[in-house]
Amino acid sequence: MATTQQCEMLLTVNGEAHSVIARPADTLLFVLRNKLRLTGAKPGCLNGDCGACTVLIDGGPIKSCMMLAIETVGKTITTIEGLKHSPIQQAFVEHFAFQCGYCTPGFIMNAHALTEKYPDASDDVIQEWLESNICRCTSYREIEQAVKSVLLKKHRND
Amino acid sequence: MVPFDFTYHQPSSIHEAIQLFQTLQQQGKKPMYYAGGTEIITLSRLHLVFTDAVIDIKQIPECQVLDIQQQQLVLGAGVSLTTIEEANPFPLLTKTASEVADRTARNQITLGGNICGQIFYREAVLPLLLADSEVVIAGKDGVQQRSIHQVFQQHMQLQPGEFLIQVKTEQTYLSLPYAHIKRRKQGEVGYPLVTVAALKKDGQLRVAFSGVCPFPFRSQAVEERLNQQLPVNTRIDEALQHLPRPILDDIEGSAQYRLFVLKHTLFDIITELEGE
Amino acid sequence: MIGKSVIRKEAWDKVTGAAKYTNDYVTPGTLHARLVTSPYAHANIQAIDIEKALSVPGVRAIVTGEGLPLTGEDLLDRPPIAFEKVRYHGEVVAVVVADTLVQAEKAANLVRITYEPLPVVGSPREALKEGAPLIHEQLGSYQKGRGIYPEPNTNIAHRTKIRKGNMEKGWAESDVVVEASFSFSPSDHAAMETRCATAEILPDGYIIIYASSQSPFMIKKLISSYFGEDVGKVIVHTPLVGGAYGGKTPVQLELLAYLASKAVGGRKVSVWNTREDDIITSPVHIGLEATVKLGCTNDGYLKAAEILYLFDGGAYSDKAIDVSRAGAVDCTGPYHIENVWCDSLCVYTNHPYACPFRGFGHGELSFAIERTMDLLAEKLQMDRLELRMKNAICPGHTTPTQVLLNNSNVGNLPKCIERLRELIHWDDWQRIEIDARTVRAKGVSCIWKTSTVDTDASSGAILTFNPNGSINLISGVVEIGTGTKTILAQILAEKMKMDIKDIHVKMEVDTQTTPEHWKTVASRGTFMAGRAVLKAADDAIRQLKEIASIVLRASVEDLEVGYGKVFLRDDPAIYVNIKDIAYGYKYPNGNAIGGQIIGRGNYILRHLTYLDKETGAGKPGPEWTVGAQAVEIEFDKRDYTYKIIRAVSVIDIGKVLNEKAAIGQVMGAMSMGLSWASRETFLFDRYERVLNPQLRTYRLLRFGEHPEYIVEFVETPQIDAPYGARGAGEHGLIGMPSALANALSVAAEVPLNELPLVPELIWRKKKGEHHGSI
């Protein structure tokens, strides 16, 4: 299959199918924001360094500035807009785990995937996952507390 | 943002990929094989890479293998580093991989991409150099299996149109005693000041380096010195005399400081593997 | 309501992706700009060839620097686009406007510029050397504001002098003297949202700007004054801002967006920084070279201070002049010294130009002063905290600019020090060897800061009512992440005795409909806007009572407002609901009285003065927040690596308005201070080009590298502030670099007087010590 300058791609975002016309060279972040008007994923560096654009592809966190949209055809994309009333969102609010809020969607998507995949995550695993995102406002302790509170609740419910 | 256009191709077989490369080249294009893509996107932004056709190898079944076949660990070039870490078939490789970039990035970075990349740390190659792995390469003359030592000299010596399909490692190497230390300028994410990986086979240390020189390497001269029957510090001092040149001297650290760090890192590696 | 950890009003927007920032408003049809920037730090521009770039499909205009006015807030020294000469690596030389960002990028890469490189100036000390290349040959002819003293034919943009007491006497009374020098290069704010501005010029001449800014009202004024536009026709919108820390006070991209829009017939143009441009092209965190000499008696009482601050303002002065002045105003740190001599210079170099950074010169000066205090304690063989306690600034003392302190305008530093001493178990140990390689050590520092804002800075607030009696709160404070707008709602809820959920805060600023708040800077939001809100509430209450007095046939004096009602003070059962009078009261027969109630309030800073040119005497700010801080580290003697175990702050905040928010502000500032001190700096090559303009190489503190934080507050009310609260958005940062350096110097047993404190620096210092040279 070859594609030329602009092409049509079928993306599944937050449970909805979208037909998008974009360049094969366009990143997923660009397509989400500029074609689908889903501006929750944030551009912070466009270089894979800050994590503000993190979304989930088939449930796993990915920096959407570093992936071509065309690579996600046939996969399930979840953005912050697709996360409704999740425990991690509630925890971020309760623990004051953000200030300016710009890194928050990326942090939440990563933390959500972490708590879903590793409800027993150790401190090392939490760090390994969350050091992928930069927050410049908080001290990270608030975020740590938010994530741990979700893990603790999952345990209580087991 | 990639500031140029390219066509995107997703072959489903090795043969198709090779064909595509040739056809695109004949059309006057500058095709490029594409795995995780993180480095291509990063360098494109800065106008340091150009391609007008990318050939995504991730759908090729051979590139997605992660399996033990005939007493060999076979790892597809398109397997992500985190996939390898989670499966953990080769603990040294797991450790080395887990120190590359950050975890979210490693969900995308592939084994092949890390080894074949332009960014010169290429740390995932260190365990493979130590384990005398074999690499499977596809090119217009078909698929070949060669020793990594033959193909990887400072960087992967691939001919135009060739691409890495798999890396194969003898099972006996997977459980050897190992050590791995990555030291950074500061903090726990980022490029290395020095990365040292080591395996101990038949009582002999094997050591490979990244961040010391502008290329990863394993050096016979260095290993010979480290395996002498001498006090450890003497061995290290002599080994340092035999490092390839140049020693990196850049924003991560001066050459002198790197050698200081390397000296202690080697000490820690040797101590860790002593008696193993 | 006061003191409660109320969840910020925009919290749910921020966790669901609904929160919108400037770049989220870029709509289809908007044109996109890409900046062409200088690869040289100092060079003449010989030619700009845009022909090839113009031929790229989609390109609409390429704007260059010819014929543009000079800009600047204190000193007009900066062309918005470089003209004839570039003065720093990353300076804007052309702006390419195209239909898409990709087209703009392609074209920007094809703009060919011929440069003639010039010798570069790489530090303030170099800049002051005889024969140093002049960065601004025309310095003498630049327009300047009052109290700005550039020195023509030098690289000095401004000098603030502090002359207090009698230096001869001070040195004569001093038994022990120490002197040391300190330095660090410029670094970056690195807000996660890169700066962004859009501009559109409507057919009727209205200029609509969207900007990620701390200064929307300044943008409007400056566009008017630079380009002769009618100030009423410039309308600036500022939605939520994704981190600022001072970096979004300067007006830069807004001017480019305006010029770009003008070049394409008024179409909407977006100028959005790449991370690389945001790091070096937009203004940066200031660097400093300092020499501090302190004298004290044998029993540790400070008698004299001689201080030289050379701030690295970079290529243009922007607000760096103000930062250098703030450094002078509080030059001694929070200590009582009767004899003070300080020269604080804003020096031009060929570095990216500087602007405010959280702490506004105080984290910088504190590094020099607090390191010197430790050196002095060492020489005296005195407990480091004790030396600070002995000299702690108190009511009755005067500041370097000779302001007499009283019980309201300064907090209680001795109390902060005392509490810190307990929290860090200072008396148990200060340096302890854990094993042959591992040492633990503690470092302390004391902080103070006033806010040197414009003497006539003001803030306004408007309250309107909804038919159900709930209130809309409209203030010009920008929500940059500090939660100030929620605190304003708390202040209003307390005053109106109502549920905070019935207060609706307008988050966005729109300069046409929002009353002005000077700038969202200097930890002044709560104080100034809080006062304005209280006044607006008083105004609304007065109006509510007036109507209610008619309805209830009672005198105004007998009425109270609260709980959604206006009621009789002595018999609350007799009342009228606010919702029934907020839009006028209607009698059963249809007659109506009153009309909608609009509360208005303002606040202007009082009694601030310019500083005397020769002595610095004058009142620079309304109050001084003080505090004491500590850092505990674990140091590896072999590798010179370390781990920050714990960081502690005790700050006199006056009154805690929102506990969790206040702790969050302090911890966040501490984190930023530790990140800066432990790793952040621009790395320059010998041509003064920045080698690390990406987050991959300009590395910030990450999750998991954070220490334990302990934050406590002392409450000494500032009498004229809302509920007594003092500013505290920046203060957590101020003492972190010095406390960390003090701890590491003790641990490594070598003075560490540079930043950032990377292991290689410690190695270099230790090596120098052993071999007698570096």
Domain residue ranges of chain A, discontinuous segments joined by +: 7-79, 83-157
Task: Residue A60: name the closest of B80, C703, B94 by CA.
Answer: B80
pLDDT of residue B210: 98
Does residue C266 sit in the same domain as residue C315?
no
Give the chain C residue whose CA is nearest to the CA of B264: C639
Let me know: does C741 contact C753? Beta carbons within 8 Å: yes
CB contact under 8 A, C760 and B257: yes
CB contact under 8 A, B6 and A48: no
How far C421 CA lies from chain A's nearest CA (Å)?
23
By DSSP bridging, strand C92-98 and strand C59-64 are antiparallel
Residues A97 and C302: their CA atoms lie apart, in Å, by 43
C700 interfaces chain A, CB cutoff of 8 Å: yes
Domain for residue C47, yes or no? yes
Which of these three, B136, B156, B173, is where a domain ends? Answer: B173
Residues B169 and B75: their CA atoms lie apart, in Å, by 9
Let me know: does C357 contact C348? Beta carbons within 8 Å: no
Which of these three, C227, C256, C280, is where a domain ends? Answer: C280
Q: What are phi and psi of C116, to 5 degrees?
A: -115, 105
Chain C partners within 8 Å of A139 (Cβ): 664, 667-668, 670-671, 706, 709
pLDDT of residue C772: 41
Q: Token digits for B270? A: 């040797």
Does residue C276 sit in the same domain as residue C288?
no
Task: Residue B204: name the closest of B232, B226, B237 by CA.
Answer: B226
Does residue C574 sit in the same domain as residue C639?
no
Beta-carbon neighbour count of residue C614 at 10 Å?
8
CB contact under 8 A, C759 and B188: no
The Cα angle at residue C317 between residues C311 and C322, in degrees rounded to 5: 65
pLDDT tens column, C375-384: 999 999 999 9
Beta-ladder partners of C460: C602
Domain A83-157 CATH (choose: 3.30.1490.20, 1.10.10.10, 1.10.3720.10, 1.10.150.120): 1.10.150.120
Residues C739 and C752: their CA atoms lie apart, in Å, by 11
- The 3-state DSSP class for residue C516 equals coil
pLDDT of residue A158: 67
End-to-end Cα distance, chain C: 58
CB contact under 8 A, A27 and B103: no
Chain B partners within 8 Å of C679 (Cβ): 185-187
Q: Token digits for B64? A: 């997605």
Residues C578 and C573: their CA atoms lie apart, in Å, by 14
Let me know: does C192 contact C243? Beta carbons within 8 Å: yes
Sequence-distant (6+) residues with CB within 8 A of B149 are B129, B132
C203 interfaces chain A, CB cutoff of 8 Å: no
Domain that holds residue B166: 61-173
Please return the burial class of C465, using the count of CB atoms within 10 Å of its CB with bins 0-12, 13-18 and 19+.
Answer: buried
Alpha carbon A132 to its chain's center: 11
A98 interfaces chain B, CB cutoff of 8 Å: no
**Nearest-10 Cα torsion for C632, C633, C637, C641:** -160
Banded pLDDT at A2 (limits 50, 70, 90): very low
CB contact under 8 A, B257 and C699: no
Residues B124 and A91: their CA atoms lie apart, in Å, by 37
Does residue B191 sit in the same domain as residue B203?
yes
pLDDT at A59 over 70: yes
Residues A1 and C615: their CA atoms lie apart, in Å, by 77
Does residue B86 sit in the same domain as residue B31?
no
Residues B60 and B40: their CA atoms lie apart, in Å, by 19
Which of these three, C576, C604, C632, is where a domain ends? Answer: C604
How far B241 CA lies from chain A's nearest CA (Å)?
36
Place of tokens 């959500």: A112
Which residues of C, range 476-505, sit inside 8 Å of A by Cβ? Answer: 480-483
Cα dihedral sign, B101-B103-B109-B114: positive
Does residue B72 sit in the same domain as residue B44?
no
Number of structural domains chain B divides into: 3
CB contact under 8 A, B104 and A71: no
Residues C36 and C63: their CA atoms lie apart, in Å, by 10
Nearest CB to B186 within list C759, C763, C764: C759
**Average pLDDT of the segment spanning A107-121:** 97
Q: What is the DSSP letter of C502?
A: G
Does residue B96 sit in the same domain as residue B125?
yes
Chain C partners within 8 Å of B1 (Cβ): 101-102, 105
How far B47 CA lies from chain C's nearest CA (Å)?
9
Let me know: does C62 contact C53? Beta carbons within 8 Å: yes
CB contact under 8 A, C695 and A49: yes
Tell me the CATH number at B106: 3.30.465.10
A7-79 domain in CATH 3.10.20.30? yes
Residue type, C546: E
Let me know: does A54 contact A61? Beta carbons within 8 Å: yes
Q: Token digits for C174? A: 């001093």
Which of C185, C636, C683, C699 to mutate to probe the B interface, most B CBs <10 Å? Answer: C699
Does residue B138 sit in the same domain as residue B200?
no
pLDDT of residue C770: 53
Domain that holds residue C692: 284-453+609-771
Q: What are phi and psi of A65, to 5 degrees?
A: -80, -15
Tell me the CATH number at B268: 3.30.390.50
Number of structural domains chain C divides into: 3
**Nearest-10 Cα torsion for C414, C417, C418, C424:** 180
Domain for residue B94, yes or no? yes
Which of these three, B144, B173, B202, is where a domain ends? Answer: B173
Which of these three, C604, C626, C656, is where a domain ends? Answer: C604
A81 interfaces chain C, CB cutoff of 8 Å: yes
Which of C4, C5, C14 to mutate to probe the A interface, most A CBs <10 Å? Answer: C14
pLDDT tens column, B18-74: 999 999 999 999 999 999 999 999 999 999 999 999 999 999 999 999 999 999 999
Give the chain A residue whose CA is nearest to the CA of C732: A139
Low-confidence ranges of chain C (pLDDT < 50): 771-774
pLDDT at A154 over 80: yes
Domain for residue C130, yes or no? no
Tell me the CATH number at C481: 3.30.365.10
Residues B216 and B222: their CA atoms lie apart, in Å, by 14
**Nearest-10 Cα torsion for C625, C508, C197, C269:** -170
Let me know: does B163 contact B134? Beta carbons within 8 Å: no
Interface of C with B (CB under 8 A): 101-102, 105-106, 109, 274, 638-639, 678-679, 683, 691-692, 696-697, 699, 701-702, 704-705, 756, 758-760, 763-764
Give the chain C residue whose CA is nearest to the CA of A82: C16
Does residue C638 sit in the same domain as residue C520?
no
Tell me the CATH number at C209: 3.90.1170.50
Task: Residue B263: name the closest of C639, A98, C540 by CA.
Answer: C639
- The 3-state DSSP class for residue C353 equals coil
pLDDT at A3 over 80: no
CB contact under 8 A, B105 and A132: yes
**Nearest-10 Cα torsion for A79, A83, A86, A89:** 60
Does residue B184 sit in the same domain as residue B256?
yes
How far C411 CA lies from chain A's nearest CA (Å)?
25
Does residue B169 sit in the same domain as residue B104?
yes
Residues C686 and A111: their CA atoms lie apart, in Å, by 43
Beta-carbon neighbour count of residue C562 at 10 Å?
15
Tell me the CATH number at B30: 3.30.43.10
* Cis peptide, bond prior to residue B31, ω within 30 of zero: no
Let me know: does C124 contact C158? Beta carbons within 8 Å: no
Does residue C600 sit in the same domain as residue C630?
no
Does residue C288 sit in the same domain as residue C380?
yes
Does residue B207 sit in the same domain as residue B117?
no
Residues C559 and C540: their CA atoms lie apart, in Å, by 13
Q: Token digits for C468? A: 């159900």
Radius of gyration over alpha carbons of chain C, in Å? 27
Does residue C574 sit in the same domain as residue C526?
yes
Interface A-C: count of C-beta contacts within 8 A: 156
Please return the burial class of B90, using the count of CB atoms within 10 Å of its CB with bins 0-12, 13-18 and 19+.
Answer: buried
Residues C231 and C207: their CA atoms lie apart, in Å, by 10
Does residue B117 sit in the same domain as residue B203?
no
Domain for residue B1, yes or no? no
The Cα angle at residue C20 between residues C601 and A49, in degrees rounded to 5: 125
The Cα angle at residue B266 between residues B264 and B270, in degrees rounded to 5: 120
Radius of gyration over alpha carbons of chain B, in Å? 19
Domain for residue C337, yes or no? yes
Does residue B166 sit in the same domain as residue B75?
yes
Give a three-class secondary structure readout of chain B. Answer: CCCCCCEEECCCCHHHHHHHHHHHHHCCCCEEEECCCHHHHHHHHCCCCCCCEEEEHHHCHHHHCEEEECCEEEEECCCEHHHHHHHCCCHHHHHHHHCCCCHHHHCCCEHHHHHHCCCCCCCCHHHHHHCCCEEEEEECCEEEEEEHHHHEECEECCCCCCEEEEEEEEHHHHCCCEEEEEECCCCCCCCCCEEEEEEEECCEEEEEEEEEECEEEECHHHHHHHCCCCCHHHHHHHHHHCCCCCCCCECCECHHHHHHHHHHHHHHHHHHHCCC
Does residue B139 sit in the same domain as residue B160?
yes
Let me know: does C559 contact C571? Beta carbons within 8 Å: no
Residues C724 and B232: their CA atoms lie apart, in Å, by 65
Residues B132 and B172: their CA atoms lie apart, in Å, by 11
Place of tokens 């050096």: B219
**Average pLDDT of the segment spanning B226-243:** 97
By DSSP bridging, strand B163-170 and strand B134-139 are antiparallel
Does residue C511 sit in the same domain as residue C631?
no
Does residue B159 sit in the same domain as residue B69?
yes
